[in-house]
Amino acid sequence: MTSKKDSKYCLANFIVISTIPILFFLSLIAGYLGVIHLNVPIHSISIIAFILFVFLLFISHNANYSVCKMKLDYHKMELQLNKKLKENTLKINNNSKSILDIDKFLQKYYLNIRNDNFVSVASSIFPMLGILGTFTAIAISMPNFSVTDTKALDNEISILLSGIGSAFFASIYGILLSLIWTYFEKRGLSKIDKYFQEIKTNFEDKIYSDEELLLYKYTQKDINEDKFVTTLKETFNLEFVKELNQLHLDSLKDIMNETNRNFNHTIQNVNIASKNIQVSSKELDNTISKIENLKDSFELRKEFLNYYLQKSDMNV
């Protein structure tokens, strides 16, 4: 239902773009029928008809036709745009607006209105089809030069020249279609730019401008810098530094006191151990003396025993 309504509404744009190509084609048909003095063979008419058919298929992707479909879809686009504006709302100084990039939104929304691939090749494909049609017409109208009669040969040459002349209509037609396409494409693009500008004007009060966003950016930067400076001042406050140093000094004193206590305790233990060693050394000296005394006594006994034994042997 909607597509039929679109086609009816944009029919005027279609007719405007196709009027000159159709009139040119009709004049060629009139020449073929003999209504006007124009020699156009049937194969040239067929080739040009094919080129015209391709051009009519491309018209729906021309900018001058696409702008009509864009305007027809305005209300649907408006609903989508309002939804996106709400999703990207930002409150600045008690003002609530959207930060949506409306240009990107419009480009994305109307991306499927026309095929950009067709648009990129349209201006060059029609001259190429015209040249192809010219060579095709020449090949079809090429006469048979196997005749031996001079009069017949002259007739064949006349047919060839006539065919070449009519074959160039295809190239002329292709170049004409390229010029028409380019003209309406440029005109349509200017209409699209104007249409987009009208939309941006209508929604201007709902979207932050670049200047407002830039001002907000610098304002936030100043606020963050002030917060940073304040934090630094609080961090490096003299009273705070004094308290911190005092805490460090107290902690250091506690550590030194504990170290001194441990050191004194260690000294005491060393003294006790030294006394114990001295006592043990004395006891060891006494023990060694006793052992030496015992040794001397043992030697004396041994000598006495030896002396007694020797004396006994002498008596015997």
Please name the residue that has the structure tokens 């401008």: 209
List the end-to-end C-alpha distance of the chain, in Å, as a whole number. Answer: 164
> What pLDDT was estimated at residue 224?
58
C-alpha separations of 161 from 47, 143, 152, 154, 156 in Å: 19, 10, 14, 11, 9
Torsion, Cα of 257, 258, 259, 262 (10° steps):
120
What gap in Å lies between CA 247 and CA 242, rounded to an integer? 9
Within 100-209, residue ranges assigned H as helices are 102-109, 116-141, 150-202
Nearest residue to 141 (alpha-carbon basis) of 160, 165, 118: 160
> What pLDDT was estimated at residue 94?
73
Average pLDDT over residues 155-170: 67
Question: Residue 303: phi, psi to the nearest 5?
Answer: -65, -40
> What pLDDT was estimated at residue 159?
57
Q: Which amino acid is at 209?
A: S
Lowest mean pLDDT among 160-169, 211-220, 303-312: 303-312
Average pLDDT over residues 98-103: 85
What gap in Å lies between CA 175 and CA 153, rounded to an integer? 34
> What pLDDT was estimated at residue 175?
94
Angle at 212 between CA 215 and CA 81, to 5 degrees: 145
Q: Three-state SS for 6?
A: helix
Please name the residue that has the structure tokens 């040969």: 153
> What pLDDT was estimated at residue 23?
95
> What pLDDT was estimated at residue 128?
94
What gap in Å lies between CA 209 and CA 201, rounded to an integer? 11
Query: 68 and 10 in contact (C-beta within 8 Å)?
Result: yes
> What pLDDT was estimated at residue 62?
93
Nearest residue to 56 (alpha-carbon basis) of 122, 4, 9: 122
Q: Buried (b) or exposed (e) across 121-147, using 16+ Cβ within 10 A?
A: ebeebbbebbebbbebbbeebebeeee
Lowest mean pLDDT among 26-40, 151-165, 245-259: 151-165
Give the mean pLDDT of the chain: 77
What gap in Å lies between CA 75 and CA 67, rounded to an integer? 14
Lowest mean pLDDT among 12-16, 56-60, 118-122: 118-122
What gap in Å lies between CA 190 and CA 297, rounded to an integer? 138
Question: What is the pLDDT confidence band of residue 271, given thresholds at 50, 70 and 90?
Answer: low
Entry pTM: 0.62
Average pLDDT over residues 172-186: 94
Q: What share of the chain is helix, strand, coil (3-state, %, to 5)?
A: 85, 5, 10
Domain ranges within the chain, ordered by starting residue: 2-73+113-202
> What pLDDT was estimated at residue 192?
92
Task: Dump pLDDT digits (tens) for 286-312.
Answer: 776 766 666 666 666 666 566 555 655
> What pLDDT was estimated at residue 316?
47
